[in-house]
Amino acid sequence: MDISLAERLGSADRGDLLARIARFVRANSRLIAGGLLFPNLLSLLTLTSLVDIGLPPRTESILFYACVALIARPLRFVFVVPLFLAVLAFDLVRTLALMFGMAPSEFLAAFEHAQRVDLFASPLYVALTAAIVATTIASLVCLSSRKALVAANAPAFFGLTLAFAAVDFACNVSPHYHLGWMVGRSEQVQSAAEVSGFGAAAGEGRRDVVLVMVESLGYLRDPAARARIAAPLRDPGLAKDYVVTSGQTTYFGSTTSGEMRELCGTRMFYKDYVAQDADRCLPDRLAQRGYATVAVHGFVGGMFERHQWYPTIGFDRSLFGAELIKTTGRVCGDSFRGACDADLAPLLAAAQPADAGNAPRFVYWLTLNSHVPVAPDQARTNFACGHDGGPFGQTDVCRMAELWHDVFNVVAQLARDPALRRPEILIVGDHAPPLWSKRGRAQFEPGQVAWYRLQPRGEPQPRMRIREAGVGTLQ
């Protein structure tokens, strides 16, 4: 064999080797991109400082996507697509359920009401939806070629997947995401109404009673931040008439879980509870003592069927967004558009059933505007949030704080309104805010909500049941 022929053969061997290496690299790149990188892109971002985003650990979803990618090697693509979409559906339900502190069954029940929420009014949800669609398409494109995927190294890919799942779990595990699955069904109920003494005092002396459940009012770790939002309760004029105490209590689940906790003293799912209602809820008990009972909420009554089960637990009348807006003339909110909390003081003071006469009243107010995602520049309070979050250091927390301050202003007005005759008042959060921001969530005590009680002076001090939640006088 002459030298030139040998060189040509050697060159051909090298070319063939390089081509095989290139095919191997392309095959592994497609497998890793389609089964690991694209489906888990948001979780990858949580491991960096590029964006302030937080997600719960997604261990099962990460492994399921990898299994679909490996199955795609021998399987026809027409079968790969539904498998991938099934894992995507599982991933979304599980992740969002944990993000919002709900059991998956409750999340699916909430999904039935999604048509009442304008999700695409929020730039955040538009961006997240676009990202999910884009990464899904990109993943499926990568997994569409069986011939290319067969050349990939499956054991190495699965080893890389296990390593990423372990890192994701270690970096994202947090008490903030431990509340969703069981929703505290086996835990003893600890309501703010109980620990504050409000429940024992409600109805005594036939005073009017007001319970305010504040959307997403978690327990801020910084005492100065708590003082800033509750400043209206430190008004000297209010202090002459009320003793103001505050504390924290444990929550599980979402808003309806908070309502069941404070109104009915149960952790049962609202649909299950109202199906066997036995007149044990606070509005039931007060109605039996001659109280006129009214529920007020700035959103649509069909959301979670409140227009149906509020009467079941004892409310004589319910006022919802459409009726409230006819009087206030103003709409607030982003995805959850409804009445403006800051406008409702006169309506709350006047709210009563048509035949109430001079009966004492129980007014229950479920606030709305601090629901995530929070619309900017709608609060009457101005904490100069800007782009850096002002005094709270995170924009969404600051915007919610402005709206919470508005609610406390309304409560301070109600406490002094002669139409309510110095009522017993309890303010309590339903759950901590389900923020997408790591820095935002870190400002709240995991699993805790704040409460504030306004007790008319001159009344006997009922014994308060104190557990691990601290209780003190508001300074």
Instruction: Decide if 245 is inside a domain.
Output: yes
Residues 67, 197 share a domain: no
Q: What is the DSSP secondary-structure string of 390-407?
A: GGGTSHHHHHHHHHHHHH
Tracing tokens 């931040």 back to the chain, one arrives at 225
Instruction: Decide if 182 is inside a domain.
Output: no
Instruction: Decide if 181 is inside a domain.
Output: no
Opening angle at CA 446, ends 440 and 451, nearest 5: 95
Residues 367, 317 share a domain: yes
Residues 127, 251 share a domain: no
Q: What is the DSSP secondary-structure string of 259-277?
A: HIIIIIS--S-HHHHHHT-
* pLDDT value for 20: 60
Q: Which of 173, 208, 236 marks a domain boundary?
A: 173
Least reliable range by pLDDT among 107-116, 202-211, 312-321: 107-116
Residues 277, 417 share a domain: yes
**Peptide bond just before 373 cis, omega within 30 deg:** yes
CATH of the domain at 293: 3.40.720.10
Residue 8 above 60 pLDDT?
no
* pLDDT value for 28: 86
- Residue 46 is part of which domain span? 3-173
Residue 174 above 60 pLDDT?
yes
Residues 222, 119 share a domain: no
Residues 217, 148 share a domain: no
pLDDT tens digit sequence for 114-132: 667 777 777 888 888 999 9
Residue 243 above 50 pLDDT?
yes
Instruction: Decide if 372 is inside a domain.
Output: yes
Q: What mean pLDDT is reported for the chain? A: 87
* pLDDT value for 469: 40
Q: Whole-prediction pTM value?
A: 0.87
Instruction: Decide if 179 is inside a domain.
Output: no
The sign one gets for the Cα dihedral 9, 11, 17, 19 is negative
Distance, CA of 473 to CA of 475 (rounded, Å):
6
Residue 393 above 70 pLDDT?
yes
* pLDDT value for 2: 56
Instruction: Decide if 187 is inside a domain.
Output: no
Region 280-287 average pLDDT? 94
Residues 8, 85 share a domain: yes
Q: Which one is predicted more confidently, 458 or 8?
A: 458
Residues 243, 163 share a domain: no
* pLDDT value for 234: 93
The answer to whether the beta carbons of residues 410 and 439 sit under 8 Å apart is no
Residue 29 above 80 pLDDT?
yes
Residue 186 above 70 pLDDT?
no
Residue 465 above 70 pLDDT?
no
* pLDDT value for 474: 58
Residues 248, 391 share a domain: yes
Confidence of residue 290 (pLDDT cuts 50, 70, 90): very high
Residue 173 above 50 pLDDT?
yes
Residue 54 above 90 pLDDT?
no
Residues 364, 417 share a domain: yes
Q: Which one is predicted more confidently, 73 or 23?
A: 73
Domain count, the chain: 2
Q: Which of 173, 204, 236 marks a domain boundary?
A: 173
* pLDDT value for 22: 58
pLDDT tens digit sequence for 143-155: 998 888 888 899 9
Instruction: Decide if 316 is inside a domain.
Output: yes
Residues 198, 95 share a domain: no
Distance, CA of 368 to CA of 355 (rounded, Å):
28
Least reliable range by pLDDT among 119-128, 261-270, 389-398, 413-422: 119-128
Opening angle at CA 232, ends 231 and 237, nearest 5: 120
* pLDDT value for 178: 64
Instruction: Decide if 227 is inside a domain.
Output: yes
Residues 224, 94 share a domain: no
Q: What percent of the chain has pLDDT over 70?
A: 88
Residue 133 above 50 pLDDT?
yes
Least reliable range by pLDDT among 98-102, 108-112, 180-184, 289-293: 180-184
pLDDT tens digit sequence for 298-317: 999 998 999 999 999 999 99
